Amino acid sequence: MIACTGTGSTSWNYNGNRLTSQTVKDVMSVMDEMGFQTDNNIDEKILDEICKRYNSKLIFEPTAPKMAFTVRDPVFNATFPKTFARGFANRIRVKSRCTHAHLVLDGSTSVPFNQGTEVILELIPDDALQTFKH
């Protein structure tokens, strides 16, 4: 799982979720196979614009009172019902179901995160990073 504030959205959220023109082409091909009318010969400039518009929504202001989250390789089955694989939240609770697991903070600090361990990620205004522009 990836979780970040607006400060990390330009890297973590953007790179973990960005859309490529190849993916757009693949989706359009599947839609075409399903009988939807698509133009499989769509201009590369239009594909780039679709990606640009989608990807721009992945980045948000560092001061925004929210976190973006992405669940990488989500498992949906009878035990784990389908839920959002990405989105925004103010509070995230995660419970480990793994053995020999670790929680990695900002790609560098590793903390043991084994079976039954819970972590709550939440935004607390008094702890917000304060940046000033001159």
The reported pTM is: 0.81
Other CB atoms closer than 10 Å to residue 93's CB: what's the count? 10
54, with CB counted inside 10 A (0-12, 13-18, 19+), is middle
The dihedral sign for the CA sequence 29, 32, 33, 34 = positive
Q: What is the pLDDT of residue 73?
A: 84
Domain ranges of the chain: 1-15+62-128, 19-57
Contact between residue 87 and residue 70 where contact means Cβ atoms under 8 Å apart: no
Per-residue pLDDT of the chain (134 residues; tens, 9 = 90+): 999 999 999 999 999 999 999 999 999 999 999 999 887 778 899 999 999 999 999 999 988 999 999 998 888 888 888 888 999 999 999 999 999 999 998 888 999 999 999 999 999 888 776 665 66
Strand order of the sheet with strand 67-70? Answer: 2-4, 67-70, 86-89
